[in-house]
Amino acid sequence: MIGNNPWLDGLLRILVIALAIPLSVIVLNYVERKVIGRVQNRLGPMRVGPYGTLQAVADTIKLLTKEDVRPHSADRWTFELAPYVVVVPTVVALVTLPITDDLFVRNLALGLFFILAVSTLSIVGLVMAGWGSDNKYAILGAMRSAAQLISYEIPLVMAAVAVAMVAHTPDGRGTLDLVQIVDGQGRVPYIVWQSLAFFIFVVAALAELYRQPFDIPVAESEVVGGPFVEYSGMRWAMFMMGEYVNLVLLSILASLVFLGGWNWPLGNEVGPALQVPLILIKTSLLILFFMWARAILPRLRIDQLMAYSWQVLLPLAFYQIIVNGLVLVYDWPDVVLGVLSGAGTVTAMFLTYRMVRRPVPVRRPAPVAAGAAREVSV
Amino acid sequence: MPDVQGLFEQYTAVLIATILGFALVAGALIGNLILSPRQRTRPKGLSYECGMLPIGRGRFQIHFRYYLFAILFLIFDIEAVFLFPWALSFLDIGAMAFYEMLVFIIILGFGLLYAWRKGALQWR
């Protein structure tokens, strides 16, 4: 602890985070445009600075000097408070996110639960933005985002429960403390024993970030940006910042909980010089996966989207929890857990494939008069 | 088990982060306020409807199906709240705790199955 004063210590540590957030958003914005550019056989930004590295800085300056417009009919307080409600929870959630075993703001005993609970609050901000804007597209987007985000919240939390079941301290007690969860993984990360939970977590995280292929709430060609239609300038940039910080947050969380964090494969004793790069590599790989998914996958329809969460991910998450419970209660070997979870992952992939290929639901045709020619319904 | 003082010291950071988060957003918005031009004209204050004049009010009634999903979410989120403390302690209590939670999960599973059969999960 710095200065033996919890307030000063907390303030200094959070200031570091508060400075790192805008920086990481600027870097990620550039990386994302480059990655999507490369996938589409383009160069991406190239004009501003060497290889376009200053493009995101230029965009920030442009957004900072852009007029802040608010519709006359907008609900003023809801409209203006919405960016705060989206960004503040993500900053608060970063408090308990450890980078190494002694690099964090505060390692809360309820870490995993705290992050999931707090980062969910952003949904309220999206609904506020949609309702406050007094715009048809905005409210439609807000309702869609509420429906999608709460649906995928459940599998995400259930995957976390599955991990909380197997995570334990050296003396065999259960724990939600993120440092202890990482240290408990030792030589074998939980992805081996909990591959199904990892699959569910990553897919649900992709949906929680409302990025393609789960971008129904903010789809430009359907609801012209969803809840953010009426926002401009820095207010709009705050929503983007919330989105990117959430991306970083969920990627770090997944790499801590499933990929062994700073522990695997080098072990706990190597010190921060190797631990920090290790976790950065894992996080970057996950972030690149999210960007890659965004670039190559088409948007899901809303019926596929909702059905996928409730009919595929949720039952499979229950399956994972029950398998975990059985194996742990009867002290069966870990291999059984790995095999059963792996079988679940294969099933999940098969069901995902089937769900994506499912045809458009056919509406019941209107009764046709006798003798009239039947038309093919589209 | 942290004592109350320790717990308080841990969660001071949450309070500071909340205040600092607000300050971060407010700082960006104030910067925008200082740097941006301001010219209020009437068309700027109209809500956006693809360049046409907006028809009717922006706030309309929302379909009932969103409400159904909200109810389902509530049920399963409360289940998650029960599952977390159970996940930490079911090994200490023994096999009985596992089977009790299994019954709970199965009851809710039947609830999900009921919603499924009734078509509540079908987006229409």
Counting the structural domains of chain A, the total is 2
Task: Say what the pLDDT of residue A6 is.
Answer: 75
Q: CA triplet A117, A123, A128: central angle to 5 degrees?
A: 135
**Whole-angstrom distance, CA of residue A176 vs CA of residue A168:** 8
- The rounded percent of chain A whose pLDDT value lies above 70 is 94
Is A201 a residue whose pLDDT tops 90? yes
Same domain? For A61 and A78 the reply is no
Question: Is residue A142 in a domain?
Answer: yes
Q: Are residues A145 and A278 in the same domain?
A: yes
Give the pair of three-digit tokens for residue A164. Answer: 């909380």
What length is written for chain B?
Answer: 124
Burial of A318 (C-beta count, 10 Å sphere; 0-12/13-18/19+) = buried
Task: Give the pLDDT of residue A290.
Answer: 92
Do A225 and A245 share a domain, yes or no?
A: yes
What are the angstrom distances between the C-alpha of A358 and each of A251, A277, A309?
Answer: 30, 42, 15
Average pLDDT rounded to a whole number, residues A50-77: 86
Question: Which residues of chain A have a CB within 8 Å of the CB of B88?
Answer: 164, 173-176
Q: Among residues 106-165 of chain A, which lie with CB inside 8 Å of chain B?
A: 106-109, 113, 131, 133-139, 143, 146-147, 150-151, 153-154, 157-158, 161, 164-165
d(CA A202, CA A259): 12
Mean pLDDT computed over A162-176: 82
Q: What is the DSSP letter of A174?
A: B
Exposure pattern of B71-109 as b/e (b: 16+ CB <10 Å)? ebbeebeebbeebbebbbebbeeeeebbeebbeebeebe
Chosen from A14, A108, A113 to mutate, greatest number of chain B CBs within 10 A: A14
Q: Find all residues with CB under 8 Å of A241, minimum gap 6, and list them.
A: A21, A22, A25, A87
Instruction: Give residue A188's pLDDT.
Output: 83
More confident residue, A359 or A114: A114
Q: Judge whether A186 is closer than 8 Å to chain B, CB to CB.
A: no
User: Looking at residue A286, what is its pLDDT?
Assistant: 92
How far does the CA of residue A274 sit from the closest CA of chain B (Å)?
27
Q: Following CA atoms B45, B46, B49, B52 in sequence, which dihedral angle do they give, to the nearest 10 degrees? A: -120
By the 10 Å C-beta count (0-12 exposed, 13-18 middle, 19+ buried), A338 is classed as middle
Residue with tokens 């709430």: A217
For residue B36, give Cα distances in angstroms to A23, A68, A233, A357, B33.
22, 7, 9, 48, 6
- For residue A117, is pLDDT > 80? yes
Asked whether the beta carbons of A133 and A146 are under 8 A apart, the reply is no
In a domain, A279, yes or no: yes
C-beta separation of A245 from A87 below 8 A: yes
The pLDDT of A318-346, averaged and rounded, is 89
pLDDT band at A84 (very low <50, low <70, confident <90, very high): very high
| pLDDT for the residue numbered A361 | 65
- Shortest distance between the Cα of B76 and any Cα of chain A, in A, equals 7
**Prediction ipTM score:** 0.88
A314-326 pLDDT, tens digit per residue, is: 999 999 999 988 8
Question: What is the share, in percent, of chain B residues with pLDDT greater than 70?
Answer: 96
Q: Are residues A159 and A49 in the same domain?
A: no
Residue pLDDT, tens place only, A266-310: 777 777 788 888 888 999 999 999 999 988 888 888 888 888 888
Gap between the Cα atoms of A217 and A226, Å rounded:
6
Residue A367 within a domain: no
DSSP string computed for B72-117: HHHHHHHHHHHHHHHHHHHHHH-HHHHHHHHHHHHHHHHHHHHHHH
pLDDT at A370 over 60: no
Mean pLDDT, range A50-74, rounded to an integer: 86
pLDDT at A378: 39
> Within 13 A of A6's CA, how many CA atoms are on the CB side?
14
Judge whether A27 lies within some domain. Answer: yes
The DSSP result for A302-335, as a single string, is HHHHHHIIIIIIHHHHHHHHHHHHHHHHTT--HH
- In this prediction, residue A377 carries a pLDDT of 41
Domain boundary among the residues A45, A65, A85 is at A65
- Please check whether residue A334 touches B, CB under 8 A: no
Residue B1 pLDDT greater than 60, yes or no: no
Clarify whether residues A8 and A111 are in a common domain. Answer: no
A100 closest CA partner among A224, A225, A269: A269
A335: CB partners within 8 A, 6+ apart: none
A58 and A194 co-located in one domain? no
DSSP H or E stretch at residue A279: helix A272-296
pLDDT tier at A193, thresholds 50, 70, 90: confident
Q: How far is B87 from chain A (nearest CA, A)?
A: 5
What are the sequence ranges of the domains in chain B? 64-118
Contact A229, B48 (CB under 8 A): yes
Is the separation of the CB atoms in A131 and A75 below 8 Å?
yes
Examine residue A52 and state whether it is found in any structural domain, yes or no: yes
For residue B38, what are the CA distances in angstroms to A67, A69, A191, B32, B46?
A: 6, 9, 53, 11, 16
CA distance A199 to A316: 10
A323 and A304 in one domain?
yes
A66 touches chain B (CB under 8 A): yes
Q: CA angle B19-A157-A336, nearest 5°?
A: 140
Q: Is A218 at the interface with chain B, CB within 8 A?
A: no
Q: What is the pLDDT of residues B18-63, one digit of tens each?
A: 998 899 899 988 988 888 888 877 777 777 777 777 777 777 788 8
Residue A374 has pLDDT above 60, yes or no: no
What does the pLDDT read at residue A376?
44
Kindly state whether A72 is in contact with chain B, defined as any CB-CB distance less than 8 angstroms.
Answer: yes
Residue A85 lies in a domain: yes
Specify the length of chain A in residues: 378
**Residue A293 near residue A212 (C-beta atoms within 8 A):** yes
Statement to judge: residues A207 and A328 lie in one domain? yes
- Residue A166 belongs to what domain range? 72-357
Same domain, A56 and A83: no
Per-residue pLDDT at A89: 92
Structure tokens at A318: 């229950």
pLDDT of residue A320: 92
Phi, psi angles (nearest 5°) of residue A332: -70, 160
Helices A233-257 & A111-119 angle (0-180, nearest 10)? 150
pTM, entire model: 0.90
Q: Does the structure show a pLDDT above 50 at A46?
A: yes
d(Cα B9, Cα A68) in Å, to the nearest integer? 39
Query: What phi and psi, each to the nearest 5 degrees, are found at residue A243?
Result: -65, -45
A331 inside domain = yes
Q: Are residues A1 and A93 in the same domain?
A: no
Same domain, A24 and A112: no
Helix or strand holding residue A63 (H, E): helix A55-64
Counting one residue from chain A and one from chain B, the pairs whose CB atoms sit within 8 A come to: 225
Are A130 and A180 within one domain? Answer: yes
The mean pLDDT of chain A is: 85
Q: pLDDT-derived band of residue A24, with 50, 70 and 90 as boundaries?
A: confident
